[in-house]
Amino acid sequence: MKKVVSLLLASAMALSLAACGGSGSSGSSAPAGGADASSGTTTEAAAPAADASSSEAVSISIWQPTDKEAVENWWVEKINAWNSEHPDIQVSREAIDRSDSYAYDNKVATAVTSNDLPDILFVDGPQVSYYAANGIIVPITDYFPDTSDFAESTVAQCTYDGQLYAISATESSVAFYYNKDMLKECGVDTDDLDSRTLENPITWSEMAEIAEKCTTDSYVGTHIVMDHGEGLPYALEPMYISEGKDYISEDGTTAEGFVNSDEAVKTTAFIANFIAKGQANVDPITDEFLNKACATMIGGSWEVATLEANADFDWGVTYYPVADDTKKAVSPCGDWSAAVTRDCDNVEAAGQFLQWLMGTENVASYAAAIAKPATRATAYDDPAMADYKDGPRALLVEQLQNTAVPRPRTPSYATFSTDYAEAMTNILAEAASNGTVDEAYIKEELDGVSTKFTEDYTTYYQ
Amino acid sequence: MANTKKFSDRKKDERAAAYIFTTPAMILLVAFLVVPMIYTVYYSVFKYQVMRPDDIAFVGMDNYAKLFKDMDFWQSLKNTFYFTVIVVPVQCVLALALALLVSKRFRGVSIFRTMYFSPQLTSMVVISVLWTVLYNSNPNTGLINSILVGLGMQPINFLTNAKTAMNAIIFMSAWQGAGYQMMIFLAGLQGIPTEQYEASAVDGATKWQQFWNITLPNLKGTIKYVVMITMIQAMKLFTQPYVMTQGGPRNATKTMVYYIYTQGFQKGNFGYACSVAAVFFVIVVAMSLILQRITNAE
């Protein structure tokens, strides 16, 4: 009997170890091409350096969250190509497991304290101003004097205090996805949705009507909770702007009268109403739309690839809904961008590498590998981007190029994001438990977000 | 004379050996516990945003003054106490009950022991994710709610209702943690001489009387230990709210450690987070001492 027990214990332990290994190995195997180079450079580079004697090879390190295999392979290939062409600048990349949206940030925070930042750091769009304001990353305007080929939204997101601090190859967007089979079943005219244009997007009331009609015993009408972190401020911001007030003032200094304005309360109430009426789940399962647990969703541009590969139903996508009062079309944007850190000894070399990395051809192949819209307009002429000529992807690019608005550019964004996500989680949970929306409570929560923002901003940045 | 000298020499040798043997543990303890603790207290009197380590300013007791006015801090403290006060007795009683069940020798008892212990072998994150799905408010996805609805009841928003969220976490935590305490109780139970039971049986004691007058008194040391470690573990509650509720809804599951994490890492308020950690440390030590006093007095 003891043997059985020990066998059980051993297998259980092995399983739990394997589970850990799964995430760990993706982190460590990924940089194989890159990290090899970093340990290899010192020895390999020694030979040419001996000949040249005057200059040793510069090594440039990159940190980026681990990505899917296609992206990891892309990096190995590109870094090998660069390193063989540039013996004087040797690049290595470390893929860091993100686990959730904050594990990577925590590693960066630790490296800041110990001055161990890599030369090039990938930063999520809205964090650029936070890092820039704190001097973690340095301006790279000199290396990208002409950004006209890049989408306005990404340039705006990466600019702080008039200087370009980061540069991105890809963008993201959010749109309204619908399950045509379900909508038809519930008597919604899907041809009408298919025929919408950027000038004539669906309105909030149309979205609410669809959600109401399509809430049945087996699925809910819509999906609005992307996650309980950054996904909330990211996916929902256009609603606020469309209604008239953004989260934060244009100059990034105050939230008072913005996130807690009457317009913001109204917008939040509109969102919470879906939950209160049971038309959207407060804690949706992963891939709720794909799993046919909701009829429509406010979903990210990356869902197109997932749905194309896996959906066994007919689906469509249309532009982000607009407020009835203003009809102002707005959409989210922002993606991970490359920045040069203050610990970089050779900014010149890092800048040179970034120029090459963000060239049209690389942007096109990277965007294709990661299945996200490219930031460069000319990248769409590349055969790698052929998928973006028409269909859902073309719609997302059109929306991105015309209505995208970056998230607030403020050094207190990390605090804002945390507090807003927390307030929304509370508001939506209350709506779910009570079955009604309490505007006074919404105001109270949003006031709290504003107060905490002011406190953070005045403590550190004034 | 010669004898005593020898004796004291040997004592000296033993003492030297003791120091040598404890040195590795001491080094680790100092490096990873004492030094960080000193740093925590040190940084708690500074304004320190984690992203700007070059811009640290001494602010005296400002962080502490702010802390005592911070409603989120008090709420987190209250939640941590609530969790601890409920989970410690529940988990310990459950563990003791399980230990009594599996202390009998019968065919297949090891299977039960392994089963009860197995949640301990799984990562808390994995368990939290699993229970998040079990607790899901939509009866189409949440197993527990689908059962409730099947029985003709209303679904419960376990994790999204401020009234039920903490209790839901308490239940799953007790379920997860009890296996470990069960093992310790089991060891304690096996150390009780069987003669005592035999003698009392001869005298006509009932099972219940045996439990109260033999089992419990003999387990006193074990109970003390189990209650103490369960309490300290409970005070450190973090993973479950982090994965399952992100401290919500309405701050109902925001615990001290979770609050320290959000302040220090998510928002970068390092100095402030250190002051919270320092106060929290004092509270945990005080509680441990009080508990020790109570149990020793008995």
Q: pLDDT tens for residues B32-49?
A: 999 999 999 999 999 998
Phi, psi of A121 (to 5 degrees): -125, 130
B58 located within any domain: no
Distances B241 to B76, B230, B253 between C-alpha atoms, Å? 12, 18, 6
- Asked if B6 and B112 sit in the same domain, the reply is no
Mean pLDDT (chain B) is 90
Of A403, A418, A447, the residue at which a domain comes to its end is A403
Q: Which residues pair with A175 in a beta bridge?
A: A299
CA dihedral A343, A349, A351, A357 (to 10 degrees): -120
**Total structural domains in chain B?**
2
- Asked if A313 and A425 sit in the same domain, the reply is yes
Q: How far apart are CA A420 and CA A445, in angstroms?
A: 9
- Asked if A195 and A298 sit in the same domain, the reply is yes
**Given pLDDT bands bounded at 50, 70 and 90, which one contains residue A18?**
very low
Q: What pLDDT is stored for residue B9 in this prediction?
A: 78
Q: Which helix (H) or strand (E) holds A454?
A: helix A439-461
B47 located within any domain: no
Question: Is the pLDDT assigned to residue A2 strictly greater than 50?
Answer: no
Tell me, what CATH number does A416's domain have? Answer: 3.40.190.10
Do residues A409 and A133 make contact, with C-beta atoms less than 8 angstroms apart? Answer: no
Residue A4 forms contact with B (CB below 8 Å): yes
Q: What pLDDT is stored for residue A29 in this prediction?
A: 34
**Residues B13-20, mean pLDDT to the nearest whole number:** 89
A97 located within any domain: yes
B237 located within any domain: yes
Q: What's the gap between Cα A311 and its chain centre? A: 23
Q: What pLDDT is stored for residue B298 in this prediction?
A: 62
Q: How far apart are CA B255 and CA B247, in angstroms?
A: 7
For B257-277, what is each residue's pLDDT tens digit?
A: 999 999 998 888 999 999 999
Longest dimension (CA), chain A: 77
- Asked if B78 and B157 sit in the same domain, the reply is yes
B161 located within any domain: yes
**Residues A342-371, mean pLDDT to the nearest whole number:** 94
Distance from CA of A191 to the nearest CA of B (A): 29
For A124-138, what is each residue's pLDDT tens digit?
A: 999 999 999 989 999
- Asked if A112 and A245 sit in the same domain, the reply is no
What does DSSP say about strands A58-65 and A89-96: parallel, antiparallel, or unpaired?
parallel
Q: How far apart are CA B275 and CA B265, in angstroms?
A: 14
Which residues in chain B touch residue A285, judged by CB atoms under 8 angstroms apart?
133, 136, 138, 141
Q: Select from A301, A321, A331 the least CA-distant residue to A405.
A: A331
> In chain A, whose CA is at the least distance from the CA of B267?
A415
pTM to 2 decimals? Answer: 0.84
- Preferred mutation among A121, A283, A444 to probe B, highest tally of B CBs within 10 A: A283
For A76-113, what is each residue's pLDDT tens digit?
A: 999 999 999 999 999 999 999 876 556 788 889 889 88
- Asked if B190 and B87 sit in the same domain, the reply is yes
Query: Which residues span the domain enclosing A319?
Result: 174-332+409-461
What percent of chain B is predicted at pLDDT more than 70? 97
Q: How far apart are CA A146 and CA A149, in angstroms?
A: 8
DSSP A294: B
DSSP A139: -
For B54-110, what is each residue's pLDDT tens digit?
A: 788 999 999 999 999 999 999 999 999 999 999 999 999 999 999 999 988 888 888
For A399-416, what is each residue's pLDDT tens digit?
A: 999 999 999 999 999 899
A6 located within any domain: no
Q: Which helix (H) or strand (E) holds A96?
A: strand A89-96
Which residues in chain B touch residue A113, judged by CB atoms under 8 angstroms apart?
50, 53
- Asked if B127 and B192 sit in the same domain, the reply is yes
Q: What pLDDT is stored for residue B172 in this prediction?
A: 94
- Asked if B139 and B280 sit in the same domain, the reply is yes
- Asked if A113 and A160 sit in the same domain, the reply is yes
Q: Which residues pair with A94 in a beta bridge?
A: A63
A92 located within any domain: yes
Q: What's the gap between Cα B52 and its chain centre? A: 34
Cα of first residue to Cα of last residue in chain B, in angstroms, is 44
Residue with tokens 């970056």: A406
Mean pLDDT (chain A) is 87
Do residues A44 and A75 make contact, with C-beta atoms less than 8 angstroms apart? Answer: no
- Asked if B5 and B78 sit in the same domain, the reply is no
**Given pLDDT bands bounded at 50, 70 and 90, which one contains residue A283?**
confident
CA dihedral A439, A443, A444, A449 (to 10 degrees): 140
Token reading at A382: 């590349």
Q: Which residues pair with A337 in a beta bridge?
A: A123
A14 located within any domain: no
Stretch among A31-35, A177-181, B294-298 having the lowest mean pLDDT: A31-35
- Asked if B75 and B146 sit in the same domain, the reply is yes
> In chain B, whose CA is at the least distance from the CA of A113?
B53
Residue with tokens 């650029």: A128
Of A131, A281, A426, the CB nearest to B138: A281
Of B50, B121, B266, the CB nearest to A13: B121
Locate all alpha helices (DSSP H) within A278-412, ordered by sequence.
303-310, 347-357, 360-370, 391-403
Interface of A with B in 177-236 (CB under 8 A): 218-220, 228-229
Spell out which chain B residues touch chain A, with contact meaning CB-CB distance below 8 angstroms.
47, 49-54, 108-111, 113-114, 118, 121-123, 126, 132-133, 136-138, 140-141, 157, 159-163, 246-251, 262, 265-269
Do residues A338 and A122 make contact, with C-beta atoms less than 8 angstroms apart? Answer: yes
- Asked if A203 and A101 sit in the same domain, the reply is no
- Interface confidence, given as ipTM, is 0.82
Q: How far apart are CA A83 and CA A24, in angstroms?
A: 26
Interface of A with B in 272-301 (CB under 8 A): 281-283, 285, 293
Highest mean pLDDT of the ranges A202-206, B53-57, B115-119: A202-206
Name every residue whose Cβ is closer than 8 Å to that of residue A217 and which is 6 or more positions away in sequence. none
Phi, psi of A340 (to 5 degrees): -100, 130
- Asked if B93 and B163 sit in the same domain, the reply is yes
Q: How far apart are CA A312 and CA A292, in angstroms?
A: 10
What does DSSP say about strands A120-123 and A337-341: parallel, antiparallel, or unpaired?
antiparallel
Do residues A35 and A92 make contact, with C-beta atoms less than 8 angstroms apart? Answer: yes
What does DSSP say about strands A58-65 and A120-123: parallel, antiparallel, or unpaired?
parallel
Tell me, what CATH number does B81's domain have? Answer: 1.10.3720.10
Token reading at A127: 């964090």
What percent of chain A is predicted at pLDDT more than 70? 87
- Asked if A282 and A181 sit in the same domain, the reply is yes
Q: Select from B201, B84, B136, B186 the least CA-distant residue to A282.
A: B136
**Residues A275-287, mean pLDDT to the nearest whole number:** 92
Question: Is the pLDDT assigned to residue B282 strictly greater than 70?
Answer: yes
DSSP B158: T
Locate all alpha helices (DSSP H) within chain B, ordered by sequence.
2-29, 35-43, 62-69, 71-103, 109-117, 124-135, 143-150, 165-190, 194-202, 207-210, 216-218, 220-235, 239-240, 256-261, 270-297
A212 located within any domain: yes
- Asked if A323 and A343 sit in the same domain, the reply is no
Of A403, A425, A445, the residue at which a domain comes to its end is A403
**Total structural domains in chain A?**
2
- Asked if A339 and A325 sit in the same domain, the reply is no
Q: Which residues pair with A58 in a beta bridge?
A: A89
Do residues B217 and B210 make contact, with C-beta atoms less than 8 angstroms apart? Answer: no
- Asked if B23 and B135 sit in the same domain, the reply is no
A106/B265 Cβ within 8 A: yes
A19 located within any domain: no
- Asked if A185 and A126 sit in the same domain, the reply is no
Do residues B260 and B81 make contact, with C-beta atoms less than 8 angstroms apart? Answer: no
Peptide bond preceding A238 in cis form (omega within 30 of 0): no
Token reading at A49: 């350096």
A399 located within any domain: yes
Q: How far apart are CA A321 and CA A330, in angstroms?
A: 8
- Asked if A210 and A321 sit in the same domain, the reply is yes
Distance from CA of A430 to the nearest CA of B (A): 7
For B188-229, what is each residue's pLDDT tens digit?
A: 999 999 899 999 989 988 989 999 999 999 999 999 999 999
A460/B52 Cβ within 8 A: yes
- Asked if B156 and B277 sit in the same domain, the reply is yes
**Given pLDDT bands bounded at 50, 70 and 90, which one contains residue A55?**
low
- Asked if A382 and A413 sit in the same domain, the reply is no
B57 located within any domain: no
B2 located within any domain: yes
Q: How far apart are CA B3 and CA B5, in angstroms?
A: 5
A47 located within any domain: no
**Residues A452-462, mean pLDDT to the nearest whole number:** 92
- Asked if B9 and B136 sit in the same domain, the reply is no
User: A437 or B105, which is more confident?
Assistant: A437
Distances A105 to A136, A414, B125 between C-alpha atoms, Å? 13, 10, 19
Other Cβ atoms closer than 10 A to B175: 16
Of B121, B126, B249, the CB nearest to A429: B249
B17 located within any domain: yes
Of A377, A403, A429, the residue at which a domain comes to its end is A403
Give A372's Cβ-side CA count (13 Å radius).
23
**Residues A231-237, mean pLDDT to the nearest whole number:** 95
- Asked if A246 and A152 sit in the same domain, the reply is no
Q: What pLDDT is stored for residue A392 in this prediction?
A: 93
For A373-393, what is each residue's pLDDT tens digit?
A: 999 999 999 998 988 988 999
- Asked if B207 and B76 sit in the same domain, the reply is yes
B121/A9 Cβ within 8 A: yes
Query: Which residues span the domain enclosing B131?
Result: 63-297
**Given pLDDT bands bounded at 50, 70 and 90, which one contains residue B8?**
confident
B154 located within any domain: yes
**Given pLDDT bands bounded at 50, 70 and 90, which one contains residue A47?**
very low
Do residues A164 and A140 make contact, with C-beta atoms less than 8 angstroms apart? Answer: yes
Q: How far apart are CA A308 and CA A391, in angstroms?
A: 11
Q: Which helix (H) or strand (E) holds A176?
A: strand A174-179
Do residues B56 and B47 make contact, with C-beta atoms less than 8 angstroms apart? Answer: yes
Give the total residue count for chain B.
298
